[in-house]
Amino acid sequence: MSEEVKTEQVVAENTDTPKDVSKKEAPAGADTQSSSRGSRGRGGARRSFGGKKPFRKGSRFRSERPKPEFEQKIINISRVTRVVKGGRRLSFRVDMVIGDKKGRIGLGSGKATDTSLAIQKAFNMARKNLIQVKRTKTNSIPYAVHAKVTASRIEMMPNKERGLVAGSTLRTVLELAGITDVSARVHSRSKNKLNNAKAAIEALREFSVPMKPLEAPKEEKKGRFNKGKDRRGSRRPFKAN
């Protein structure tokens, strides 16, 4: 063999890159996951489910939550302290506005030692004080109106295709009532949100119409364990023949 042929073979062996080696087929039975874990260093390759999403336990039995009848928004939460003979008693007051954005609007406030209980009381009170507002075809009010509650004085007037121009509590009340194309303004210096909301409700009461009675909340069905009990939960007295 000549020296030129030997030098060509040496050059060919040195130019063999590791990429060519990686392209070679792996022997049968080799563990491909172990090699990928070693190369990545952080966990192994993800499992494939044949193009299908993995089954989650309980996903078939989930039911969509029903949409609530009224949308609610808390306008103020305040902490109230009452001084008694034994010390101080702490409670919370919640002021809430509810509406369905179809003309019905209500305002309520509730007090309790717990915020969740106060919110529930405020919602129940607002539900009792609902009014139905008559709107125009453009979801506006027919004419300008003024209202005054204690130190709060407000004014509402319709505007043509300018949208809802209001701020603070007035915007919350008008949005939940579904009223647009209205300009509202607070003329007093009062910053009491509850009084401003009361003034807004009083102004909208000018356009109120009779409303259908609300459906009463459904009562829980009696089971086999409480057939002999009355509403208070105590057993009925035994009557002798």
pLDDT > 90? residue 9: no
Task: Please tell me whether residues 83 and 128 are part of one structural domain.
Answer: yes
**In a domain? residue 222:** no
Taking residues 73-90, what's their average pLDDT? 93
How many domains does one find in the chain?
2
Range(s) of the domain holding residue 153: 133-209
Contacts by 110-119, CB closer than 8 A, 24 or more apart: 111/80, 115/77, 118/91, 118/92, 118/93, 118/94, 119/74, 119/94
Q: Which residue has the higher pLDDT, 238 or 179?
A: 179
Q: Is the pTM of this model over 0.75?
A: no
37-64 per-position pLDDT tens digit: 444 555 555 555 555 655 555 555 555 6
pLDDT, tens only, 93-116: 999 999 999 999 999 999 999 999
Last residue of a domain, one of 132, 149, 176: 132
Higher pLDDT, 36 or 200: 200
Residue 54 lies in a domain: no
Domain ends where: 132, 148, 164? Answer: 132
Residue 221's pLDDT is 52
Joined tokens for residue 169: 């509590």
Structural domain contains residue 42: no
Residue-averaged pLDDT of the chain: 77
Same domain, 166 and 199: yes
In a domain, 230, yes or no: no
CATH number of residue 156's parent domain: 3.30.230.10
What are the CA-CA distances from residue 44 to residues 36, 38, 40, 48 (Å)? 6, 8, 7, 12
Do 191 and 142 share a structural domain?
A: yes
